[in-house]
């Protein structure tokens, strides 16, 4: 293995003796339980989401939030859960907020005071603030990472069940951003900024099951993905600068790695189709396709194509043989998944941090300050609609889709877009 991997360590806690059985997911099929939805791929099974809306059309309600944030809302049954943050008299407060998805009213709100030193100001590269992690739910509880304040578990009535520290948030220059995900009986947390580690915590107790540590994580802001290879084995995929890693999600050990064109900062999540994983990202932007299921350095044996051009922040979706995404400079892309060749690029304008959502054959792309574009999910990228609200604050959270509603969040409001 290359020298950059010699620092890779795996620590096991005594609670590895816990049985590795799947956590039963008891919420409805319409839920949007974590970042990028039930399959973590930005694809919705809904069919009746409006393509056109405004302040006076197809907005079921809007709810004033107690603070700002780049995190995405999630939907669990009749609740929408989202995180926020606010500075009050020089003190940072982080919020977990539950909103009734029918009435658009806050049901409960919990404040988690910051711990440690908050050493990042509002300058370039830190504009996302302190609420960039999307919560995740197993249908019974909600789990959230609040940076140096730690990981917290709440039940759906807002009662705190446990908390766990994962580090002090000082390793990454742009702060903390990756969202936790669920696997079997554990919560997997990418604590890159807090401790340059990935950890698995027991969902019941918050106790550590395993931990990996590697220096390259300091420039990774990627929410990991879970895939199953052709042998039937599960893999945990994460993008780091210049590489993709595959870990065993049961133990945290490194299975394989492949070199990519994702330079400097790795933010977007991977997407997969069959045995192929696709990654985009980096400040200059690159994209790579590789087969999963390997062992060791698989760069020569498993990388199918690798080229320049990607997205700095937002993650892609796959639809009918193509990858689609919008980059932070306001350009929509369509790329052939077989060759990696760019088929189309279309300038929309504005700036995009939110990831595209696919609903039927339509792409919903939320820009930070320029409204939401609805595009046909074909190589022509035909624009169907461009929807603006009077809210001039930042829309950087990716939308949620559930039971006839498109849920948008800004730094000021939460919105339910629904057919009148």
Average pLDDT by stretches of 10, the chain with 420 residues: 48 38 46 97 96 98 96 97 91 95 97 68 55 96 94 98 87 77 97 92 98 86 96 97 97 97 93 97 93 97 97 96 96 98 96 97 98 98 98 97 97 97
Q: Is residue 266 part of a domain?
A: no
- C-alpha closest to that of 262 among 278, 239, 286, 246: 286
Angle at 156 between CA 153 and CA 157, to 5 degrees: 105
How far are the Cα atoms of 50, 276, 278 from residue 304, in angstroms, in the given order?
38, 9, 10
Q: Is residue 120 part of a domain?
A: yes
**Per-residue pLDDT, 267:** 95
Pairing of strands 9-12, 74-76: unpaired
Q: Is residue 319 part of a domain?
A: no
Task: Give the CATH number for residue 185.
Answer: 2.40.128.630
Q: How far apart are CA 213 and CA 132, in angstroms?
A: 22
Beta strands in 19-105 (DSSP E): 43-44, 59-64, 74-76, 79-88, 91-100
Q: Are 31 and 382 in contact (CB under 8 A)?
A: no
**Per-residue pLDDT, 128:** 66
How far are the Cα atoms of 70, 124, 307 from residue 189, in angstroms, in the given order?
18, 26, 30
**Per-residue pLDDT, 69:** 94
Q: Is residue 286 part of a domain?
A: no
Residue 156 token pair: 């759906």
Q: How far apart are CA 295 and CA 250, in angstroms?
A: 16
**Per-residue pLDDT, 113:** 82
**Which stretch of DSSP H or E encloses residue 201?**
strand 197-202
**Per-residue pLDDT, 305:** 98
Q: What contacts 303, CB < 8 A, 6 or more positions away?
A: 258, 259, 260, 288, 289, 290
Would you give the distance in Å from CA 385 to the centre of its chain?
A: 25
**Which stretch of DSSP H or E encloses residue 291?**
strand 286-291
Q: How far apart are CA 252 and CA 134, in angstroms?
A: 22
Report the number of distinct structural domains present in the chain: 1
Q: How far apart are CA 400 and CA 371, in angstroms?
A: 16
Q: Is residue 342 part of a domain?
A: no
Put simply, whether the predicted model's pTM sits higher than 0.75 gets the answer: yes
Residue 15 token pair: 């609670």
Residue 353 token pair: 């941090």
Tokens 């908390």 correspond to 163
Q: Is residue 164 part of a domain?
A: yes
Angle at 59 between CA 37 and CA 356, to 5 degrees: 30
Q: Is residue 325 part of a domain?
A: no
Q: What contacts 140, CB < 8 A, 6 or more positions away?
A: 26, 155, 156
> What domain range includes position 110?
1-33+63-221
The model's pLDDT over 279-311, given as tens digits with 9 standing for 90+, comes to 999 988 899 999 999 999 999 999 999 999 999
Tokens 């849920």 correspond to 407
Q: Is residue 174 part of a domain?
A: yes
């Amino acid at each position: 293995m290359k020298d950059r991997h010699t620092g890779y360590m795996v620590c096991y806690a005594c609670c590895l003796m816990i049985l590795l059985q799947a956590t039963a997911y008891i919420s409805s099929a319409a839920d949007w339980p974590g970042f990028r939805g039930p399959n973590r791929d930005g694809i919705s099974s809904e069919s009746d989401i409006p393509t056109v809306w405004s302040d006076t059309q197809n907005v079921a309600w809007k709810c004033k939030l107690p603070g700002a944030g780049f995190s995405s809302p999630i939907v669990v049954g009749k609740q929408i859960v989202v995180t926020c943050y606010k500075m009050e008299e020089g003190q940072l407060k982080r919020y977990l907020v539950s909103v009734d998805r029918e009435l658009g009213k806050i049901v409960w709100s919990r404040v988690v005071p910051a711990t440690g030193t908050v050493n990042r100001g509002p300058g370039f590269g830190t504009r996302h603030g302190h609420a960039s992690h999307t919560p995740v739910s197993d249908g019974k509880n909600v789990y959230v990472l609040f940076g140096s304040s730690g990981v917290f578990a709440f039940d759906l009535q807002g009662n705190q069940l446990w908390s766990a520290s994962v580090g002090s948030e000082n390793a990454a220059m742009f702060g903390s951003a990756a969202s936790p995900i669920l696997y079997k009986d554990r919560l997997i947390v990418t604590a890159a900024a807090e401790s340059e580690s990935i950890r698995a915590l027991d969902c019941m107790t918050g106790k550590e099951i395993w931990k990996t540590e590697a220096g390259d994580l300091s420039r990774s802001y990627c929410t990991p993905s879970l895939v199953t290879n052709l042998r039937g084995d599960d893999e945990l995929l994460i993008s780091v600068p210049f590489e993709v890693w595959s870990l065993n999600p049961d133990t945290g050990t490194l299975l394989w790695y492949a070199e990519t064109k994702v330079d400097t900062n790795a933010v977007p999540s991977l997407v997969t189709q069959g045995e192929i994983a696709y990654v985009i990202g980096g400040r200059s932007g690159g994209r790579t396709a590789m087969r999963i299921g390997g062992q060791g350095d698989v760069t020569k044996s498993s990388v199918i194509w690798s080229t320049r051009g990607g997205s700095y922040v937002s993650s892609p979706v796959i639809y009918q043989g193509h990858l689609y995404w919008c980059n932070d400079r306001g350009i929509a892309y369509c790329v052939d998944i077989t060759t990696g060749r760019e088929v189309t690029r279309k300038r929309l304008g504005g700036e995009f941090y939110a990831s595209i959502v696919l609903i039927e054959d339509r792409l919903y792309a939320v820009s930070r300050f320029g409204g939401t574009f609805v595009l046909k999910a074909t190589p022509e990228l035909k624009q169907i609609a461009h929807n603006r609200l009077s809210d001039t604050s930042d829309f950087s959270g990716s939308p949620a889709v559930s039971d006839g509603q498109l849920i948008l969040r800004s730094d000021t409001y939460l919105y339910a877009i629904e057919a009148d």
